[in-house]
Amino acid sequence: MTDSRLRALTGTVEREVTVGADGAFTIAGEAFQADPIGPGAWRVTCRGRSRVVHVARDGDEEAYWVHVDGRVHRVEITRAGVRPRRKTSGREHALAAPMPATVLSVIAEIGQAVNAGDTLLMLEAMKMELPVRAPRAGVVTAVHCREGELVQPGVVLIDIT
């Protein structure tokens, strides 16, 4: 195989990966050898040290879930020179439930001034408590839910202006 270059991107780190022959890769001047040891499993060797790494492709996107030593990372891969599609984080509805949830308690009151990061509501979903926090400073102008209510994702629970 002829050499080619890939761009690998996590939320915070970007690397250029040079693809060599037979599982050889060069990243930041360092040589890596990746050998398949099963479906989704690779033995990656660098400077004589090997690690088992598990990888799963995420649907149709060129994004990969990667596990090494108990930590999981999501890596996008594109051909060098191609800008990766940046996805929105999906957290812009900070004042809505992320999934079907029960309102445990309404902490904020109408007219109350809040700071960014203040907890406004506690939800429960999947048996976990989820605080809903103010994305920015402001004043609470409306509360659209009550304690004990089952709320659906995407429905705004509280207004801040």
Q: Which residues bind other proteins (CB under 8 A)?
A: 6, 8, 10, 12-13, 15, 17, 19, 23, 25, 27-28, 30, 32, 34, 36-42, 44, 46, 51, 53-58, 62, 64-73, 75, 77, 91, 98-100, 104-105, 125-131, 133, 146-148
Alpha helix stretches (DSSP H) within the chain = none
CB closer to other proteins, 42 vs 160: 42
Taking the complex as a whole, how short is the minimal distance between the CB of residue 137 and other proteins, in angstroms?
19
Choose between 133 and 161: whose C-beta lies nearer to other proteins.
Answer: 133
Return the closest-CA partner of residue 115 out of 89, 142, 134: 134
Whichever of 22 and 161 has its CB closer to other proteins, that residue is: 22
Sorted by sequence, the CB contacts under 8 Å of residue 2 that are 6+ apart come out as none
CA dist 9 → 40, 66, 69, 90, 104 (Å): 19, 12, 20, 18, 38
